Structure 1
Amino acid sequence: MGCFSIKCGLLAGSVFGAVIAILGGILIPVGDMIIERTVKKEAVIEPGTTAYDNWASSEIAVYRQFWLFDVKNPQQVVQEGAFPEVQEKGPYTYKTRYLPKANVTFNPNNTASFVLPMGAIFEPSMSVGPEEDTVTTLNLAVAVRFVFWIFFQGAYSFTNSSLFQHRTVKELLWGYNDPILKDTIGLFSPYNGTSDGPYNIFTGKDDISKVSIIDRWRGETKLSFWNDTYCDMINGTDGSSFAPFVDKDVPLYFFSSDICRSVSASYEATMNLKGIEVYRYSLLPSTLASPVDNPDNKCFCRNYETTKNCTLAGALDISSCSDGRPVFISLPHFLQGSEYLREVVLGLHPDEEHHKTFLDVEPITGFTLNFAKRIQANMMYGPAKDITVLNKVKDYTLLPLAWLNETATLDDKTADMFKRELISRIDMLEIVQQVLLIAGVIIFFVCLIAFFCVRRKSKTNLG
């Protein structure tokens, strides 16, 4: 009778173990469903969700670090036609986008409208010197007039001003009153007190796969800068977030008003950011490749003469969207650009680690937790027989003026909250699943083996 009770107990233990293991197995898909449903709910951009709190907040500081290119041989360039030699000077750091989104409106078609107020506050403690530091740089007025001269071949009046000038960091970046153009001119002027947008984005309420995707920018569903259906497309989000459950095999698309176009970023590596697993995405070399290597970029080529019949890679002419200023955008030090660009300007040293643009995206929520947007502003000058200061210039030269590194990363407090509210709960659920599954299997097999051992012993004793 005692032996029978032991057998029953062992059988019951096996059944119990099997039930526990099955429960652990069931919890895997059920737990995944719970996580997916919760994340999708919290990823919708509407008041009360985690996504909305992150989207509307201005607590995460965004900084712009600037490195300005100081021309070391201006006289030799003008008098002898020498290649300009530059040395970067910086960083000069500004806190930007510290203001929350303005004019936020939720629309009936599950979109939200807003504008991004822009401002820049100088941060001396994060800079190599004051804003009053001076650099020798290209005379912006001459560069502007040179471009007009290219198109109108001297029909535009030109004053033989110096090709180079001395300007403070503040003047070059944010503007100064130019005596030639009789207007305020600067690389990023006007900036303070202006805004980007308005934007119209999908909230994801009806379709979470569309969350944060830009529906309209400045009231339009497409751009008007490139006169081409492909190049004028507005694709993806603004880069601050993407749809949840990111697939690293699928590129991420985002639109940047700084470069007046949409771009894509591809998965590069899985990183650890303050204890949070993130996917790092970076721009591919094809983004600024010449049309020879990437035919899709043909519509971004605007001038055959200055781009050597559209064979140059690495620079984007954005004059059509920068109030007529002849600005070319590239990666810092012409990273991923044609070798020619670095042959006619001495002192450039491109480096992938310091000069590439990347996004660190948390794959479950789709939130961008860390990013570095790095772009360089350049202007062109070249040979012009009717212009004294350009008499000795031998070829078109794209001269770097400054490059910026716009960065933001989640702080320790936000990282701890993120780990506590999401990562730790997912980890705990996975631990419970594994414990139940493993414990159930162990109990099942131990009891089953013990049952057969007791059964064999019973038969032996009876025999």
Structure 2
Amino acid sequence: MGCFSIKCGLLAGSVFGAVIAILGGILIPVGDMIIERTVKKEAVIEPGTTAYDNWASSEIAVYRQFWLFDVKNPQQVVQEGAFPEVQEKGPYTYKTRYLPKANVTFNPNNTASFVLPMGAIFEPSMSVGPEEDTVTTLNLAVAYNGTSDGPYNIFTGKDDISKVSIIDRWRGETKLSFWNDTYCDMINGTDGSSFAPFVDKDVPLYFFSSDICRSVSASYEATMNLKGIEVYRYSLLPSTLASPVDNPDNKCFCRNYETTKNCTLAGALDISSCSDGRPVFISLPHFLQGSEYLREVVLGLHPDEEHHKTFLDVEPITGFTLNFAKRIQANMMYGPAKDITVLNKVKDYTLLPLAWLNETATLDDKTADMFKRELISRIDMLEIVQQVLLIAGVIIFFVCLIAFFCVRRKSKTNLG
């Protein structure tokens, strides 16, 4: 009778272990469904969601650091047509986008409209000198205070979460009017501050930048650890500013055959059509990823991938950009001109770097802790519960089953 009770108990233990293991297995897809449903709900841009709180607030400081290029040999350039020799001076740092989004309006078609106020507060502690420092260069303002960017009209994701944050209209238009080309005038992706949740690192991220008057894409580079949070780092590919010779898609961005050497120069984008006609070209700092020629006719440039590339660090579950560095350089084209006698000695068109900026922001420790507590820790806890139930159930099942057969064999031996 006692042996029968032990065997019954062991069989019950095996059944219990199997049930626990099955429960753990069931929790895996169920837990994933719960996580997916919760994230999609919180990723919608509407009052009361996590996405809205991050989107509408201005708690994360955005800084713009400027490095100005000081021409060391201006007299030789003007009088002898010498190559300019430049030395960067900086950073001069301003706190920008410290104001929340303005004129926020939610529309019936599941879009939201807003403008981005652009303030500029000088930060002496993060700068090499006062704002009154002087440099020698061509005359072009590189920072206006009290301006705004937009208005933007973006999808909230309420009806389709895959469209969340994607720009529907900029300045009231669904396309640009700078390039006179269907492809180049497209407004693709978001503004870069967030993307749809559950990011696939094999798929490029698209975003529009009003600073360079065009849309670009960024590709996965590496998985990084940002204050205990796993993020995907995305960066611009060299093809973004490649010459049309290497990337035919860029042909419509080439505006002037003479100044771009028949559109063979790589690394510079002519934005004169969206900068009031001024001969302004945008590039990466120090002509990173640009043609060697650009650095041969301007001395003193030293491109460095780590310090001069643009990147985004995106949390893959939510699609939030938690850290970024947007680095661009403003250049002005100058060269032979009949009406400007001071340039009589200049023999060829040259892109002169004026300044490069690093617009950067990263989540602070408080926000990182909140992010880990509200999302990461809950996901980790659910995964731990799933694994514990599954492993414990399997162990109990096999231990009880093995013990059952051992007891039964022993009882048969005793009977024999």
TM range (shorter): over 0.9
Counterpart Cα distance in 1 of 2:9 and 2:290: 75
The aligned counterpart of 1:270 is: 223
Shift of 1:76: 1.2
Shift of 1:141: 11
For residue 140 of structure 1, give the secondary structure of its aligned residue in structure 2.
Answer: coil
Shift of 1:192: 1.7
For residue 400 of structure 2, give the secondary structure of its aligned residue in structure 1.
Answer: helix
* Residues 265-291 of structure 1, C-alpha deviations (whole Å, 9 max, x = no match): 000000000000000000000000000
For residue 346 of structure 2, give the secondary structure of its aligned residue in structure 1.
Answer: coil
For residue 187 of structure 2, give the secondary structure of its aligned residue in structure 1.
Answer: coil
Q: Does 1:367 align with 2:320?
A: yes
Counterpart Cα distance in 2 of 1:289 and 1:439: 57
Shift of 1:391: 1.8
* Residues 30-54 of structure 1, C-alpha deviations (whole Å, 9 max, x = no match): 0000000000000000000000000
Counterpart Cα distance in 2 of 1:80 and 1:196: 42
For residue 373 of structure 1, give the secondary structure of its aligned residue in structure 2.
Answer: strand
* Residues 63-93 of structure 1, C-alpha deviations (whole Å, 9 max, x = no match): 0000000111111111221111101000000
Q: Does 1:413 align with 2:366?
A: yes
* Residues 120-170 of structure 1, C-alpha deviations (whole Å, 9 max, x = no match): 110000000000111111245999xxxxxxxxxxxxxxxxxxxxxxxxxxx
* Residues 378-413 of structure 1, C-alpha deviations (whole Å, 9 max, x = no match): 001112355332122121110000000000000000
Q: 8 Å contact 2:85–2:299 — kept in the other structure? A: yes
For residue 137 of structure 2, give the secondary structure of its aligned residue in structure 1.
Answer: strand
Alpha carbons of structure 1 residues 139 and 106: separation in structure 2 relative to 1, 3 Å: closer
Counterpart Cα distance in 2 of 1:124 and 1:108: 45
Counterpart Cα distance in 2 of 1:328 and 1:385: 22
Counterpart Cα distance in 1 of 2:374 and 2:390: 25
* Residues 232-257 of structure 1, C-alpha deviations (whole Å, 9 max, x = no match): 00000000000000000000000000
Q: 8 Å contact 2:232–2:313 — kept in the other structure? A: yes
Alpha carbons of structure 1 residues 140 and 39: separation in structure 2 relative to 1, 3 Å: closer
Which deviates more, 382-391 or 341-350? 382-391
* Residues 81-111 of structure 1, C-alpha deviations (whole Å, 9 max, x = no match): 1111101000000000111111000000000
Q: 8 Å contact 2:44–2:161 — kept in the other structure? A: yes
For residue 37 of structure 2, give the secondary structure of its aligned residue in structure 1.
Answer: helix
Alpha carbons of structure 1 residues 141 and 199: separation in structure 2 relative to 1, 3 Å: closer
The aligned counterpart of 1:130 is: 130
Counterpart Cα distance in 1 of 2:266 and 2:297: 14
Q: 8 Å contact 2:120–2:146 — kept in the other structure? A: no
TM-score, normalised to structure 2, is 0.98
Counterpart Cα distance in 2 of 1:124 and 1:319: 32
Counterpart Cα distance in 1 of 2:78 and 2:222: 46
Q: Aligned-residue CA RMSD in angstroms? A: 1.5
Q: Does 1:350 align with 2:303?
A: yes
The aligned counterpart of 1:447 is: 400
Q: 8 Å contact 2:154–2:169 — kept in the other structure? A: yes
Count matched residues: 416
The aligned counterpart of 2:44 is: 44
Q: 8 Å contact 2:60–2:363 — kept in the other structure? A: yes
Counterpart Cα distance in 1 of 2:93 and 2:290: 26
From 337, 344, 347, the counterpart of 2:290: 337
Alignment map for 1:138-287 (pairs within 5 Å): 138-140=138-140, 191-287=144-240
Shift of 1:324: 1.8
Counterpart Cα distance in 2 of 1:224 and 1:367: 30
The aligned counterpart of 1:429 is: 382
Counterpart Cα distance in 2 of 1:82 and 1:456: 99
TM-score, normalised to structure 1, is 0.89
Structure 1, unaligned stretches of length 5 or more?
A: 144-190
Q: 8 Å contact 2:142–2:355 — kept in the other structure? A: no
For residue 411 of structure 2, give the secondary structure of its aligned residue in structure 1.
Answer: helix
* Residues 357-377 of structure 1, C-alpha deviations (whole Å, 9 max, x = no match): 000000000000000000000
Which deviates more, 318-327 or 346-355? 318-327
Counterpart Cα distance in 2 of 1:393 and 1:219: 43
Which deviates more, 389-398 or 21-30? 389-398
Alpha carbons of structure 1 residues 397 and 447: separation in structure 2 relative to 1, 3 Å: same
Aligned sequence identity (%): 100
The aligned counterpart of 2:121 is: 121
The aligned counterpart of 2:29 is: 29
* Residues 177-209 of structure 1, C-alpha deviations (whole Å, 9 max, x = no match): xxxxxxxxxxxxxx2222111100000000000
The aligned counterpart of 1:187 is: none
Alpha carbons of structure 1 residues 142 and 41: separation in structure 2 relative to 1, 3 Å: closer
Q: 8 Å contact 2:194–2:321 — kept in the other structure? A: yes
Which deviates more, 269-278 or 388-397? 388-397
Q: Does 1:297 align with 2:247?
A: no
